[in-house]
Amino acid sequence: MLKATGGEMTRMDTGATEKIQIIETPEGTFTIRLILDDLGDIYPGMVRYTVEVLRDTETVYTYTINTYESARQDTLFDTRKAAEVVFTRLVHDVAARPHRYTRPRVFTRPLPGTGAIDIVILQGSPRRFGNSAKIASWCDDEAARTGLTSRIFYLQEMDIRPCIGCYVCYNQGYCPIEDDMPPIIKALEGASVVVVCTPVYTGTVPATLKAVMDRCQWLHARENVLGKEVHARGLLVAVAGQQGTRPFACVTGVVGMFMENLGIRSAAPVLIGGLDRARDVEKMDGVEDGVRAALRALLAPQNEE
């Protein structure tokens, strides 16, 4: 169940208390709770356990684990057992060393506090001055002409690691991998329009763009766990060496699924074949106008529920 907290809808703090221990210490009264959240509506059978330590009413320590992190039930790594071990250890530790729990200890990294960007452009080609980069620059320019803010993320130049499928993001809405993803997540969360510019590489998208899309599972988690909804519209502009629609079959599926997963409402993609050399796209009649028109159509007010 989603719950309103501080003006925002969030999925945290809504679970059932499974265990509770109150400890009186010279540093104050501590409450240790083991909370169970059924996240089965996000993924089948997903259960999250949270162990939290409160000093009076302030949360000073939180440990979270979910069933998708552990390999099997009824083993040493069973999620519930792990949470219970943490609960027991915290009961002992708070009683023995309460001074260590007088200030909140936060282990999640906040996202960077940059201002919202209207149009976020994910440029997926490794070629800095290739066809996708040119298309990205047209979109960037079109945004400026419309009086909107935009940012091109040149993904190849960023430190992006692949998703490791740990499902830790479903605990508190944060990914534990330390790289350049946070500004992308922050930008996508606040964007009105998301444009993906990409070449076809061996039938699909280049590896770094695929890594970014996989890592956006983190955004899916933030939507479901923290209620941070993405309200963007999406546009795919893809280029390929071969002519016709065949080279784009996989790319449209992959990018379409990425957008669908995040609730981004995508427009009809712009697919441009017959391009091999960098900047060939500039020489094709009508392509620039077509890309700009597709973006402008997305910016126009639309009837949406």
Ligand X SMILES: Cc1cc2nc3c(=O)[nH]c(=O)nc-3n(C[C@H](O)[C@H](O)[C@H](O)COP(=O)(O)O)c2cc1C
Binding site for ligand X (CB under 6 A): 125, 127, 130-132, 199-203, 239-242, 247, 275-276, 278
The number of CA neighbours under 13 Å toward the Cβ of 286 is 3
Closest residue to ligand X, based on beta-carbon distance: 130
For the chain, the helix, strand and coil percentages under 3-state DSSP, each to the nearest 5:
35, 25, 40
Fill in the amino acid letter for 246.
R
Return the number of the residue (194 or 240) whose C-beta is nearest ligand X. Answer: 240
Rounded to whole angstroms, the Cα distance separating 235 from 266 reads 6
Nearer to ligand X, 2 or 284 (CB): 284
Q: Which candidate, 161, 266, 267, places its Cα nearest to that of 215? A: 161
Look up residue 217 and give its amino acid. Answer: Q
Whether residue 11 contacts residue 227, with contact meaning beta carbons closer than 8 Å, is answered with: yes
Of 108 and 243, CB closest to ligand X:
243
- Minimal distance, residue 153 CB to ligand X, in Å: 15
Specify the residue, 92 or 279, whose C-beta has the smaller distance to ligand X.
279
The nearest distance, CB 298 to ligand X, in angstroms, is 21
Q: Hey, how many other C-beta atoms are within 10 angstroms of the C-beta on 293?
A: 13
Residue 277 Cβ vs ligand X, minimum distance, rounded to whole Å:
7
- CB 141 to ligand X: min, Å: 17
Q: Is 168 left (phi over 0), alpha (psi -120 to 50) or beta?
A: alpha
Q: Which residue type, as a one-letter code, is found at position 280?
A: D
When the beta carbons of 46 and 209 are compared against ligand X, the nearer one is 209
The residues facing 140 across adjacent strands are none
Q: How far is the CB of 278 from ligand X (least distance, A)?
A: 5
Contact in structure between 31 and 53 (CB atoms under 8 Å)? yes
Q: Phi and psi at residue 173, in whole multiples of 5°?
A: 80, 20
Q: How far is the CB of 123 from ligand X (least distance, A)?
A: 8
Nearer to ligand X, 148 or 284 (CB): 284
Instruction: Pick the closer one to ligand X by CB: 64 or 131.
Output: 131
Whole-number Å distance between alpha carbons of 223 and 232: 13
Q: Quote the least distance from Cβ 274 to ligand X, whole Å.
A: 9
